[in-house]
Amino acid sequence: MLTRLLLLLALVTSTVVAFPASSQQPAAFTIGGESVDPGTRKDLRLAVAARGEEPGTFIPATVLHGNAPGPVLAAVAGVHGYEFAPIVAAERLADRIDPARLSGTLIIVRVANIPAFEARSPYVNPVDRKNLNRSFPGSADGTQTERIADVLSREVVARADFLMDIHSGDGAEFLEAFVGIYGGPLASDFGLALRVARGFGFPNLVRYSMDTQQQVDTRRSLNRQGVAARIPTILVEIGQNGSRDEQHVQAIVTGVENGLSVLGMWQRPVGKVAPPLRRFESTTGVSASHSGLFHPVRTGGRYLWEGDLIGTITDYSGREVERIHAPVDGYALYGLRGPPVRQGDGVVTIGNPVDEF
């Protein structure tokens, strides 16, 4: 009987991560030159300075600083300004969580890329035409996108113990919901990241193994900035094509709140969500070799077999110039709906199936 009780206790404690607990009230939390008292909320604007002829901008964030010590969770929405479900979810989360009941601190970045959001610009910042999610760690002396990345790196990622980079399908993309978990020798605490990822209840989980510094550094995204900062990191993807469906918004809210439970940041139990249906070890991207009009055979999540026709590309006279086939067996997680396509664009990203991580 005693053995069974010990096994049950081990199971429970493995589900929720207990960061060091203390009855002592924490110090004020500082960010962007501002101070947030324990048990309070502060809405602030992280300033991004002007440089040369480029204007400055800001990053709206809400800090919920708990009454008890604990980890710092950063949940970042709006790295791409046309991805609306995470932005709506961030707005909702800020009003649902009472900081007086938190152990630790939740940083909610409501819209990381205000210039792209206000211009309704997919993928890139219209000011300098750069993709924020390929610009980290950024530079205080760079273009506007690089300066935004610099502020996020210094003020948000560097203060966090866990990072959620929350996205949806941009522009003319289809996407099936998945959570990417960073593992491998250069990532931190894959086991914890996996437990948090499962709390979203999404059907697909992808492990990205960070094996070389080149993987981390090449066109570095926000999530790989988290890897570089040596904190557990997940990539959350749900919604597509500029949608802001209620079920997608609520799924993000549920996942973040479950993350607070897994991290031991409040006393609520982890809410019940569906188990994952599929697991993938990284992904295989398939790109276009021509510009023109892309005509996919199908869009949406689905299994593909090596050699399956993904779609065709016609030039601007209507002549077929390319037929794109699946290079591997796998599952189409996201890709282009078309018709616009440029040479080098990824038209589909295929998850590489595995039974377990």
Enter the CATH code of domain 24-262.
3.40.630.10
For the segment 184-208, the average pLDDT, to the nearest whole number, is 98
For the segment 201-205, the average pLDDT, to the nearest whole number, is 98
Report pLDDT for 17: 53
For the segment 150-160, the average pLDDT, to the nearest whole number, is 98
Contact 169, 333 (CB under 8 A): no
Report pLDDT for 2: 34
Q: How far apart are CA 249 and CA 161, in angstroms?
A: 24
Reported as a single tens digit per residue, the pLDDT across 259-303 is 999 999 999 999 999 999 999 999 999 999 999 999 999 999 999
Placement of tokens 């990241």 in the chain: 193
pLDDT band at 10 (very low <50, low <70, confident <90, very high): very low
Reported as a single tens digit per residue, the pLDDT across 110-142 is 999 999 999 999 999 999 999 999 999 999 999
Residue percentage of the chain with pLDDT more than 70: 94
Q: Which residue has the higher pLDDT, 4 or 176?
A: 176
Q: How far, rounded to the nearest angstrom, does the alpha carbon of residue 329 sit from its chain's CA centroid?
A: 26
Helix/strand/coil (H/E/C) assignment for every residue in the chain: CHHHHHHHHHHHHHHCCCCCCCCCCCCCEEECCEEECCCEEEEEEEEECCECCECCEEEEEEEEECCEEEEEEEEECCCCCCCHHHHHHHHHHHHHCCHHHCEEEEEEECCCCHHHHHCCCCCCECCCCECHHHCCCCCCCCCHHHHHHHHHHHHHHHHCCEEEEEECCCCCEEECCEEEEEECCCCCCHHHHHHHHHCCCCCEEEEEECCCHHHHHCCCCHHHHHHHCCCCEEEEECCCCCCCCHHHHHHHHHHHHHHHHHCCCCCCCCCCCCCCCEEEEEEEEEECCCCEEEEECCCCCEEECCCCEEEEEECCCCCEEEEEECCCCEEEEEEECCCEECCCCEEEEEEEEECCC
Q: How far apart are CA 113 and CA 149, in angstroms?
A: 9
Residues of the chain with CATH 2.40.50.100: 286-354
Residues of the chain with CATH 3.40.630.10: 24-262
Q: Is the pLDDT of residue 356 over 70?
A: yes
Reported as a single tens digit per residue, the pLDDT across 297-352 is 999 999 999 999 999 999 999 999 999 999 999 999 999 999 999 999 999 999 99
Strand partners, 125: 130
**Under CATH, what is the fold of the domain 286-354?**
OB fold (Dihydrolipoamide Acetyltransferase, E2P) (2.40.50)
Reported as a single tens digit per residue, the pLDDT across 214-246 is 999 999 999 999 999 999 999 999 999 888 999
